Amino acid sequence: METEKNYHMTADDFRKQGHALIDWIARYYETVEALPVLSQNRPGDVRRQLPEHAPQTGEPFSVMMQDVERIILPGVTHWQSPNFFAFFPSNSSYPAVLGELLSAGLGVQGMLWASSPACTELETHVMDWLVDMMDLPPGFKSDSAGGGVIQESASSGALCAIVAARERATELASNRRGCNGRLTAYASTQAHSSIEKAIKLAGIGGENLRLIPTDARYAMRPDALAAAIGQDREKGLKPFFVAATVGTTSVNGMDPLPEIGRICQAEKLWLHVDGAMAGSAAVCPEFRRFFIGLDSADSYCFNPHKWLFTNFDCDCFFVRNRAALIQALTILPEYLRNQATESGAVIDYRDWQVSLGRRFRALKLWFVIRHYGVEGLQHHIRRHVRWAQTFAGWVSENEAFELTAPPPLNLVCFRLRGSDALNQTLMDRLNQSGRLYLTHTKLNDRLVLRFCVGQTHTEFHHVQQAWNLITTFAQDLQKKQ
């Protein structure tokens, strides 16, 4: 009997190419530190090398991998390089990569419990583990009124929090009648841009977000928060939402949660706490002091895809009252009706996020936690913090440099004494050298360099080598002046 031609990759081919690809990834991790960390590509370099049209007939996988090496790799900034100290880490690990692969292999769509029970239940369970592992408020656990869900990003988490807060503040009317422009929200001047974006997306209006000044350590000033809320009430506006940050993006500033929490409780405002990177530090008891007061938060999120060895995307989002979140986000068309949902005995995570469909993200986080164990995660987080502190010590001992603020965790902000232009040139030259990658921020209108330690394969000698490079390049620059 003649079978109709099909174009699929055979299982045998998949095995062969798949094994080779795993070898390729392992070799990549073993050798990535030799590659220029920051891609040296100019705009258009990748596209110029790609054919204008999609191929009419299929091509062998081996040819695609040749193009990966030839065209793609030079256009990659190597986030997994041990010499990556820019922005925030996005640290991956072998168990995470394997979890991601398995998730792709299973190809599950976990919108409902019924659409794949394990996808939902593993996620709920791992989120409960995290509450215990990090000593988070018990009200975030699934056996309380709250619970946790994996979102794609802290930005999505903030949006969900704001929409839930908006519904609560408008007595469940804003989803039906829209927002009337009288709701006001608060975050510090150092809050991440995703808060402003979420405020705009939720229809609150960018002008209704008040940016509260910070103190000398770049933490939100509770007195200024209280004053801003009071002024808005006097104008007849309706304060409804405060975003506090544990570990601001620019300098790792720590907003004072206990004071902010007290204000939010007295004023009946939704408190969202954004711990995007620093949140991972809570696996270590000695860093939990930054999270005191988290029990007054209505929602909280942090990103294992930043600093917990789990590749993007994986944001852990917790709420204290899941009914508030679900009320704001639920939608039930006929084609999604099913017995499990009607019984009320299951969680349907489509009601906890913006999109309907969802990936089986819990697998990679589960693999990571089980591979490292709590002690393994603590060990690596501690090393990063210790090395950042050591680096900060070197900065303060060197007269050519100044430390912007004492680093609470793994992010050091510093500058070469001299003009912004000098610091910019120093950073550009370092990054062009390809031997490390760091980025900058502006604080009090001055350019400041940021050095963030958090890559999976970073060792102490990489930090030492980075400091040697920074001081050598700086000396060179100052000689030429």
Ligand X SMILES: *Cc1c(COP(=O)(O)O)cnc(C)c1O
Residues that bind ligand X (CB under 6 A): 88, 153-155, 192, 194, 245, 248-249, 274, 276-277, 303, 315
Distance in Å, CB of 315 to ligand X, minimum: 5
Residue closer to ligand X by CB (options 192, 221) is 192
Distance in Å, CB of 158 to ligand X, minimum: 7
Distance in Å, CB of 89 to ligand X, minimum: 10
Distance in Å, CB of 129 to ligand X, minimum: 21
Residue closer to ligand X by CB (options 210, 435) is 210
- Which residue blocks in 235-361 are alpha helix, DSSP H? 257-267, 304-307, 322-329, 339-343
Residue closer to ligand X by CB (options 249, 458) is 249
Residue closer to ligand X by CB (options 255, 351) is 255
Distance in Å, CB of 81 to ligand X, minimum: 19
Residue closer to ligand X by CB (options 255, 348) is 255
Q: State the Cα–Cα distance between residues 397 and 131, nearest whole angstrom.
A: 39
Contact indicator for 463, 395 with CB cutoff of 8 Å: no
Distance in Å, CB of 23 to ligand X, minimum: 31
**Residue 407 DSSP symbol:** -
Distance separating the N- and C-terminal Cα atoms of the chain: 82
Distance in Å, CB of 211 to ligand X, minimum: 14
User: How many helical (H) and strand (E) elements, i.e. helices and strands, does the chain have?
Assistant: 16, 11
Residue closer to ligand X by CB (options 244, 395) is 244
The number of angstroms, rounded, from the C-alpha of 309 to the middle of its chain's C-alpha atoms is 12
Q: State the Cα–Cα distance between residues 248 and 211, nearest whole angstrom.
A: 14
Residue closer to ligand X by CB (options 88, 240) is 88
Distance in Å, CB of 307 to ligand X, minimum: 10
Residue whose C-alpha is closest to residue 466's, from 37, 78, 26, 27: 37
Q: Which residue has the tokens 């929409």?
A: 163
Residue closer to ligand X by CB (options 300, 401) is 300
**Distance (Å) of CA 55 to CA 51, 242, 465:** 8, 51, 45
Give the type of residue at 363: L
Name the strand (E) or helix (H) holding 271: strand 270-274
User: Which residues touch 236 (CB under 8 Å, ≥6 apart)?
Assistant: 182
Instruction: Render 190-243 in DSSP notation, one character per residue.
Output: TS-HHHHHHHHHTTS-GGGEEEE-B-TTS-B-HHHHHHHHHHHHHTT-EEEEEE
Residue closer to ligand X by CB (options 116, 303) is 303
Distance in Å, CB of 313 to ligand X, minimum: 7
Q: State the Cα–Cα distance between residues 16 and 37, nearest whole angstrom.
A: 30
